[in-house]
Structure formats: C-alpha cells, structure tokens
Structure 1
Amino acid sequence: MSAGFRVLVISLLLAAHSSAQQHQPNERYTFTCGGNLTGVTGLLGSEGFPGVYPPNSKCTWKITVPEGKVVVLSFRFIDLENDNLCRYDFVDVYSGHANGQRIGRFCGTFRPGALVSHSNKMLVQMVSDANTAGNGFIAMYSAAEPNERGDQYCGGRLDKPTGSFKTPNWPDRDYPAGVTCSWHIVAPKHQVIEVKFEKFDVERDNYCRYDYVAVFNGGELNDAKRIGKFCGDSPPAPIVSDKNELLIQFLSDLSLTADGFIGHYKFRPKKLLTTTSSPVTTAAPTTANLKPTVALCQQKCKRSGTPESNYCSSNFVITGTVITTVSRSGSVYATVSIINVYKEGTLAIQQAGKSMSSKIIVVCKQCPMIRRGLNYIIMGQVDDEGRAKILPSNFVMSFKTKNQKMLNALKNKRC
C-alpha cells in the first residue's frame, strides 16, 4: 500500500470518527462483512478495508435512519475489480431493505455522487468473485430531510400523470461533477410512459463512458432492459416504455461537466400506443414460435420475395453492420451497428453519441446466415422485450449502396 493511500485512509477514518463522535481518534476501526447500521450518521467499508477484500464473499449492510428522514450515501473511496458491466466484483445500492429499487451498481475506481434513498432505509451489498483486485470501498451515510435538494441530490419517484426532471443546477449553470441521479417513473397499470428531452447537453464521448443518461424499462438497472445510453448535445428521440415503469439514470464523473438537460414525461393509455410506421398486414409470431425447434430450423433456407414485398409484414427494417456474433442454444446472438432505420416499430435501439446499435437474435443459426463485418438489410419481428428476432421466413440480404434509393422509397410506403 502506498504512503499516499495510507494518508487518505487515515484522514477519512478520522473524519468519520469525528463526525460520528463514537470513537477516539487513535482507535482503529474494524470493518466486517455486512451488518445493521442505525443512527443519523455512520461509516461502512468492505471487509478488512484498507486491506484487499476477500474472494467469494457477499456482504450486506442494512442502514436505517430515523423515521421521516431519507438516507444519503457518499462513497469516499472505491477500488474494485473493473469491468464495463460490473459482472465480477461490485457494490449494489438499494432504496429500502427488502425488494427495494436498485439505485446503482458500481465497480472499478469510479466514485459516484451522493445516493439518496426514497425512505429511511437503504441496503448496500458487495459481491466478489474468486479473483480479488482492489482495496474495496469506504462510504459515509447520513440522515437528511426527504425534500432536501442541493448540488448533490437529485432523482426520486415520479408518479403524477405529467412532470419534468432535470440535472442539478439547471438552467443556471453546469451540472456538478460526481453526481448520480435516478428518476423512477411509475404509471398506473395498462398505461405507458412517453419521455421527451427538451434540451440536452452532456459531456460527449463516442461510447458515453464518462457522463451519460441511461433509460431502462422497469424499475431497476438491468442491461437487458436498457432502452438507450445517451450523451453529447443532441437530444435523444422520444422514448416510450414497454410497460408502466421507466427508470432514468444520470451519472457524471469527476472531470468535465456541461449544461445538462431537462426532460418531460407523460402517461399514455397503452391501447393508443402507435408507431410512426403503418400497421403490419400479418400478425407477428408469438414468442413461443420464436424458439429454434427442429421443424422450424429444417426449413429450406431460401430467401423469398423482395424488400418491397416483405416491408409491410416486418415489424422493423434496418440496414447495419454485424459487429459481434455469438452462437448459443442453436441460435445466433448478434450486435448490429445501425447504418439507417427505415421502420423502427418497438425495436430497442441503443445510442452512444451519434452511433446506434441493436441486438438481434437469428433463431436458427444457419438461416439466414449472417457474418461478422458484413452489411445487411434486415427485416424481422420484435418480441415483447423489444428484441429483434429473425426467423428463416424473414427477409435478410446483403446491403449495397445502390439499395439506398429503393429503401428510401419504402420508408414512405403505405401498407
């Protein structure tokens, strides 16, 4: 351990002891695996901190502050095994103790801003795999008034029929560094949520790695349910939820900031939900029919019809480059970097800056055959989760520049 790191740890511990007034400055604080924490303020850290945390562990801390208050958690230091999706070693933070909404998942050395619960309870859980890599974390919690808002605090539950959400300091000055905001929008059953960003300016990066807005179907952070991840100075296209819950998360790192954003939402009856494209003339296959059965995958793999004849019966039509392919359970799971969208429907499209991508599943891996690095016209169906499903009967062909004019004409076709 470096001398600088020792100084950091000691200063943090002394500050924590002083504020809590529970320990003498020269008393060593021992961090254990989880526990129940109460009071108006306190300190928690990974087991053995500042030493390397143990492998194959799962530690849970339940924080409870006085009734009528909310919990504010501030990470002072974090050093866990780094991974883009935090799959190996991570810290999860939940609002509430049982079945609470996850506020965030963190790993690496990124230190999020203050995290605020919706009630007087918060749960913090750290998980490590067989390979340790880091000194863990240390964090402070404190009690605050429910409606207390400042540079650090933002987010919350939104359940009125219409409303707005915005970055801290909007519109007077740039959003602060090191902020994490989570807005959980909840509509009545059988309604969906439409979100539009009026103004948008978040630090630009091709992959939105530093500051970003992420939007999820449902009430927790789940990459499979992520609708998109956004940054830059171009507002995202309007977003409509699949069901009656939507989670919007904003994160800023500890460096550059920008103007921020303001967004508006409203509830809509699900039965009135329409897409910009004309209705399809044939029913989309059910999820059960999208499994790679022997009968389905033994069909002769021969493309039938033309782009014109398949356009109306397809839920979505895109052109794109296949950038990843993985075979699994008789199907191919691929990621497509989108060149253009001609018919979107309910297809889930992720956006990073000006780059768009979508995940597709070729149900029968040999039909139609797609190869990484090649460009295709892809027409297919969309399941209830917004995933693209390509059946042997769907239309897929190589995309050439000369096809552009034909596809532009199809975009205005009436079905």
Structure 2
Amino acid sequence: TFIFTCGGNITGESGVIGSQGYPGVYPPNTKCVWRITVPEGRVVVLSFRFIDLESDNLCRYDYVDVYSGHVSGQRLGRFCGTFKPGALVSTGNKMLLQMVSDANTAGSGFLAVFSAAHPHERGDQYCGGRLDKPSGTFKTPNWPEKDYPAGVTCSWHIVAPKNQIIEVKFEKFDVERDNYCRYDHVSIFNGAEINDAKRIGKYCGDSPPAPVFSEGNQLLIQFLSDLSLTADGFIGHYKFRPKKFPTTTVPPTTTTQPVTTRPIPLKYSVALCQQKCKRRGTLEGNYCSSNFVITGTVITAVMRGGSMYATVSIINVYKEGSLAIQQAGKTMSTKIIILCKKCPFVKRGLNYIFMGQVDEDGRGKIAPHHFVMAFKTKNQKGLNVLKNKQC
C-alpha cells in the first residue's frame, strides 16, 4: 500500500501520485506540489484514475493544477469535482502537479498514474502541441479515418510574432452535442493558458463555429472528450494576420449558447428587489404552483449584477418540471438564480428546500416571494406526503 504525502519529487519511467492521505479526506488549507521527471527525450503522460474535490464550476476552492515543465510551464488544466479529464501530456520530460485546498474540504482527493512516452506518437491519445508557423492545421486524433477516442485532452498553443493576431477557421466539425457543451467540447482562450476569464468560446455539436480572431499574439485551443460517446471530430486551420484590422469586422459569436449567464433585465429586478423579503403562503400551497420542488445543498454561490447564481447538489427531487439536472456519477446538481441576491438569502454549505419557476435555459429562478426554507431531515416526511398528492 502507498502512503500519500503532501507533494514530493518523483523520478522514473512510471509512478502513482495521490493527494495527502488518499483515500481518506484530504486536509484543509494546504498547498502540495509534486514534480515528476521522466528520462531525457521522453514526455510525461498523466491519467487521473479517481478525482473527488469540492465542486465549483470555476474550481475556485479546492483544485489540482497540472503544468508542463517544472518552472513557468504551460498550464494543461485545472480540475475539481468528480470530472476525470483525459490523458494529459507534457511537452518535455517534466510535469508539475499542485493541489490547493481551502478551509472547507469535501471529498477524498485524487489518484493519478504517470508514465514516460515517446513524444508525438501518433497513437490514440496524443495530440496538441505548439504551433508557431505562419499557417497550419490541427485536428482530432484519428481524423479523418475514424471517430476521436474517449478520454482525451488536446491543447494546441498557437504563437504568432508580437505584432500579429491569429485567425482560426474550422473546416469540418462534429463533436458530441449538449446544450451547455458539458461533455465533449472545444474551448478557445486568448493567451497561453486555460483561464475561464479569457475564454472566447466553448463549442460542440455539428455546425462549425464562426471564424475566431485572437486579441493578442497567442491562442490556446483545448479539445476534451469524456469517457462516453464520441463523434467524427474536426479539422481546423489557422493563419497569422497583421494586427491592423479594418474596423468593420465583428468579433465572432459562439455557435452554442455562451456559458456565461444572461443577466436579468434591470428594470424588472429593481422593482422586484424593492419588495418586502418574505416567503408567502405555506409549503403545501406553494407546492402545486411551483414549477420545481427540490431539497439540496448550496455548493457554490456567486454574485453577478444584483442576482446570486448558485449550484445546488440535490438531496431529493420532489417535482422536476423543466429544471435541467446534471449528473456526474451518483451526484446530481442543478443551477439556480436567486433574482435578488439577499432575498431569500442562502449560504454555501447549507441545506434548503427550493420551490420556484424555471427559465428557458432550464435554470431555477427564485423571486423574493417564492418558497425557500432551511431543510432539516424532519421536513422530509411532509414533502413525501406532498409528492404523493395530486395537484
């Protein structure tokens, strides 16, 4: 059996890395760094066998970062929750992992294996790399003979001279479809690393995205496939262009709905948020008039504009309505927007009963008069009775 400690230097052809104390719960308030070195002339291939860290859509609380190289290398990705990325490949013979946890921890951390490989094998799992010629092509593994494999991460880092920008066009495009591109997807970022604040777009489905133009001289294109359905994949081309642009061009829009949430129109929310904050009526009375009724734990809560955007890990669904529910392993979660951020006020880590309406994107919308209350196990009986009553 392995005893996993906080960080370390690991050399060799292959090995196993686990979070501190794995498979026990990892400790709070720590930062652990592992440096992997494989023989000269080889690259490091890392695969997560298991991952379970506090979940957050931007991985702000607990996360594992993976970098190519030991110092100032390119970040290959940041991971949290229970999503297992595909194989991650360094450009040289070194890779660095860093795991950070905050005061609240949740989960048993991660277990990953690494091995040394010959660079740029045209095997299933290898793709990505640095592109710095004036024009070029990038494509999914196996293109065009067969579908891309499951469980792959490819990152193409395109670098133009300082005074130039990059144009990217997809010639053919077919990636597993999902309304939010949660499963297989292509993300394009301004700059050299995977950073959600600099994401230009996230794409999936079978229609090619509109041409994309970088702001500066670097772009990062990341393709990720999960461990299930696959599709034909894509072939894309890039070329460098001078920075001076005719002013008529418009930046491209994404082909899928952009992942950022649409703000609630202001006029509406100001009037709404001036109402007195109190839930009206009874549990029973609200049950039938609500589009959805769930109990759950608030795992993230982010203020945007005057509203609060929460992710809720579901304990029980009593009435689903048109609520979009995501599932990862055994865990189900959903997105809820509290239109007035202080009303009703919810806190991360606590359990609530939520009743409300659903917007056209399948997210729950909670107004000040909707029924929300702290959930205790003793409320469960009453809810089960309501669930069996016909409205």
TM range (shorter): 0.5 to 0.7
What's the secondary structure of 1:224's corresponding residue?
A: helix
- Counterpart CA distance in 2 for 1:164 and 1:270 is 21
DSSP 3-state at the match of 1:59: strand
Corresponding position of 1:43: 16
Q: Which residue of 1 aligns with 2:215?
A: 242
The 5 Å alignment of 1:13-92 reads: 28-92=1-65
Question: In the alignment, residue 39 of structure 2 is paired with which amino acid?
Answer: P
Cα distance in 1 for partners of 2:228, 2:183 equals 9
- Deviation, 1:275, is 4.8
Contact 2:180/2:259, CA 8 A, preserved across alignment: no
The structure with the larger Rg is: 1
Give how far 1:370 is off.
3.8
- Alignment deviations for residues 148-188 of structure 1 (CA, whole Å, 9 cap, x no partner): 13111111111111111111111111111111111101111
Alignment partner of 1:153 is 2:136: no
Runs of 4+ in 1 over 2 A off after TM superposition: 273-277, 355-361, 369-374
Letter matched to residue 138 of structure 2: F
Task: Tell me the amino acid that sits aligned with residue 29 of structure 1.
Answer: F
Q: Distance in 2 between matches of 1:275 and 1:171?
A: 37
Q: TM-score, normalised by structure 1?
A: 0.62
Paired residue type of 2:3: T
The Cα of 1:371 is off from its aligned counterpart by 3.9
* Corresponding residue SS for 2:40: coil
The alpha carbon displacement at 1:86 in A equals 1.2
- The alpha-carbon deviation at position 358 of structure 1 amounts to 6.9
**Conservation of the 8 A alpha-carbon contact between 2:210 and 2:255:** no
Is the alpha carbon distance of 1:268 and 1:46 closer, same or farther for their aligned partners in structure 2, counting shifts above 3 Å? same
* Alpha-carbon offset, residue 81 of structure 1: 1.3
* Counterpart amino acid of residue 178 in structure 2: D
Distance 1:35 1:71 in 2: 16
Tell me the distance in 1 between the aligned counterparts of 2:73 and 2:110. 22
| 1:103 matched to 2:76 | yes
- After superposition, residues 134-145 of structure 1 pair within 5 angstroms as 134-145=107-118
Q: CA deviation at 1:245?
A: 0.4
Q: Equivalences for 1:290-309 in 2 at 5 Å?
A: none
Partner of 2:246: 274
- Output aligned runs, 1:325-364, within 5 Å: 345-346=250-251, 349=253, 351=254, 353=256, 355-356=257-258
Distance apart, 1:125 and its partner CA: 0.7
Residue number among 177, 197, 200 corresponding to 1:224 in the alignment = 197
Computed over aligned residues only, the root mean square deviation of the Cα atoms, in angstroms, reads 2.1
Cα deviations by residue, 1:196-234 (Å, 9 ceiling, x for unpaired): 000011111111111110000000011111100111111
Residue type of the alignment partner of 1:266 = K
Identity across matched positions, percent: 74
Distance 1:276 1:90, change over 3 A: same
For residue 171 of structure 1, give the secondary structure of its aligned residue in structure 2. Answer: coil
Aligned to 1:7: none
Residue identity in the other structure for 1:88: Y
Structure-2 separation of matches of 1:275 and 1:71? 44
What is the deviation of 1:372? 5.9
Contact 1:96 1:118 in 2 (8 A): yes
| Counterpart in the other structure of 1:123 | 96
Aligned equivalents of 1:373 and 1:170: distance in 2? 49
**Aligned-partner residue type, residue 274 of structure 1:** P
Give the secondary-structure state (helix, strand or coil) at the position aligned to 2:206. coil
Question: Cα–Cα, structure 1 residues 264 and 372, in superposed 2: closer, same or farther, change >3 Å?
Answer: farther
- What secondary structure is seen at the aligned counterpart in 2 of 1:249? strand
The aligned residue for residue 332 of structure 1 is none
Query: What are the superposed Cα offsets for residues 61-114 of structure 1, whole Å, 9 maximum, x if unpaired?
Result: 011111111111111111111111111111110011111110011111111111
Does the C-alpha gap of structure 1 residues 208 and 360 become closer, same or farther in structure 2, counting only changes over 3 Å?
closer
- In the alignment, structure 1 segments of 5+ residues that lack a partner are 1-27, 278-344, 362-368, 375-415
CA contact 1:206–1:352 (8 Å) conserved in 2: no
Letter in 1 for 2:86: G
Paired residues of 1:208 and 1:352 also in contact (CA < 8 A) = no
Matched, 1:132 2:89: no
1:166 paired with 2:167, answer no
Query: Would the alpha carbon gap of residues 253 and 360 (structure 1) be closer, same or farther in structure 2, given more than 3 Å must change?
Result: closer
Residues 134 and 155 of structure 1: is their aligned pair in 2 closer, same or farther, counting only changes over 3 Å? Answer: same
Q: Which residue of 2 aligns with 1:15?
A: none
Separation of aligned partners in 1, 2:21 and 2:10: 17
Q: SS of the counterpart of 1:49?
A: coil
The CA deviation at 1:352 is: 6.0
Q: CA deviation at 1:119?
A: 0.9
Gaps of 5+ in 2: 271-391
For 1:340, the equivalent position in structure 2 comes to none
For 1:147 and 1:257, the matched residues in 2 are separated by 22
- Mapped pair 1:197 → 2:170: yes
Question: Does residue 184 of structure 2 align to residue 184 of structure 1?
Answer: no
Pairing 1:251–2:224 present? yes
CA distance in 2, matches of 1:352, 1:264: 18
